[in-house]
Structure 1
Amino acid sequence: FLLGGRSLMIVAALASTNNNDEQQANSRLPWLGFLCCSYFCCKSSSLSVSNRRQNLIKMADSSQLPRRIVKETQRLIAEPVQGISATPYQDNLRYFAVAIEGPADSPYENGVFQLELFLPSDYPMAPPKVRFLTKIYHPNVDKLGRICLDILKDKWSPALQIRTVLLSIQALLSAPNPDDPLDNNVAELWKSNEVEAIRRAREFTESFAMKNTTTAAAAAPS
């Protein structure tokens, strides 16, 4: 830890007082608290991201989830997709907190978009349920965050995975499709005045997606 023997000796010295020196001891308490806090903060921070991932992998493995979901979860944690994080909630491993970085050279660049993903009881025979939590100006996403994506509807196949869905959503940010809209007003503007639509999309990104402090390397939700 960052507090070595010398620092721990200082803590001990500050802590050791006699009854006749109570006033001096009280003056030492703020420093004692600071050093103790530093010690335990350093101890906590020594837990690496890899250890956190291993804990989540073990948790998934010991759960009562179908083996298919366990294997997908383990891979998502052990081999994260660039620009995407998907972390299961500890109290329900069918729910994932997702963060997707806005692709470069798109109106969503530099934004971090939060989504939620849920695996229904009949997964993988049925697709995951996914929606944006971060407000976004996009022809294929409505005001409730629902996404118009064929593999989340009639084009879903049990051969597809969570990973595939997240990559497809990331691709949708790179290439919005106003010909298959979920928000007709956004789609109409995208087709009639793409420059203005892109400007509004960037404005939304700056207003909502850049406020997020969570990145694609976000810590596990509690």
Structure 2
Amino acid sequence: MQAGSGKRITKELGEIQSDPPEGMKVTLKDDSDLHTWQIVMDGPEQSVYAGGHFKLILVLPKDYPFKPPVVNFQTKIYHPNISNDGKGSMCLGMLRTDEWKPPNKIVAVLNMTRNLLIEPNPDDAVESSIAEVYKNDYKSFEKTAKEWTKKYAVGK
């Protein structure tokens, strides 16, 4: 780990823990590893995921902030931008290597992740079948998303 990287991560973690993004709790998965964060994100009230509690893992590469973090949903979710293959990979523009900039902060990543739950981006989907349902039969998308939220993200 580069010395500056550890300082920056410690600073960002401190800022997030003292003033967490709305509906989120952020902790280290293991106190001895600054690079792996555990996040519990409440489904935003204005989204089909309201009432759910979603577990995410955020992994910071050794050369952070020069490379973007990787965010994965550990809680299964019915969403066009999050894979439901057990990995929970997320498609978020700013996390692409070619779009990531070192001044970007983790809090921005977390806020964008939350916003993605409010406003999915079906044109940049990981799950194209879910994106099709979202675009062509929103009522059906909403029903399934709420069912999955109840099944996988409530009371867990």
Q: Same fold (TM over 0.5)?
A: yes
Which structure features the higher share of strand residues?
Answer: 2
Which of 1 and 2 has greater Rg? Answer: 1
**1:150 alignment partner in structure 2:** 93
Relative contact order higher in (CA < 8 Å, ≥ 6 apart) = 2
- Name the SS of the counterpart of 1:66 in structure 2: helix
Q: Distance in 1 between matches of 2:76 and 2:90?
A: 12
**2:53 alignment partner in structure 1:** 112
Q: Distance in 2 between matches of 1:64 and 1:168?
A: 25
Q: Distance in 2 between matches of 1:65 and 1:106?
A: 35
Which structure features the higher share of helix residues?
Answer: 1
Offset at residue 106 of structure 1 (A): 1.1
| Identity rate, percent | 37
Show the 5 A alignment for 1:34-113. Answer: 66-88=6-28, 89-113=30-54
CA contact (8 A) 2:91 2:124 kept: yes
Let me know the Cα RMSD of the aligned residues: 1.5
Count of matched residue positions in the alignment of Structure 1 and Structure 2: 150
Offset at residue 71 of structure 1 (A): 0.7
Q: Distance in 1 between matches of 2:4 and 2:105?
A: 19
- Name the SS of the counterpart of 2:10 in structure 1: helix
Q: Distance in 1 between matches of 2:59 and 2:19?
A: 20
Offset at residue 64 of structure 1 (A): 9.4
Offset at residue 158 of structure 1 (A): 0.8
Deviations 1:8-58 (A, max 9, x none): xxxxxxxxxxxxxxxxxxxxxxxxxxxxxxxxxxxxxxxxxxxxxxxxxxx
Gaps of 5+ in 2: none
Offset at residue 166 of structure 1 (A): 0.4
Deviations 1:102-143 (A, max 9, x none): 111211001010000111101000000110000000000011
Show the 5 A alignment for 1:122-137. Answer: 122-137=63-78
Q: Distance in 2 between matches of 1:64 and 1:124?
A: 9
**TM-score w.r.t. structure 2 length?**
0.91
**Letter paired with 2:68:** P
**TM-score w.r.t. structure 1 length?**
0.65
Gaps of 5+ in 1: 1-62, 213-222
Deviations 1:185-221 (A, max 9, x none): 1011111111101110000000001032xxxxxxxxx
Q: Distance in 1 between matches of 2:46 and 2:58?
A: 26
Q: Distance in 1 between matches of 2:124 and 2:59?
A: 24
Offset at residue 66 of structure 1 (A): 2.1
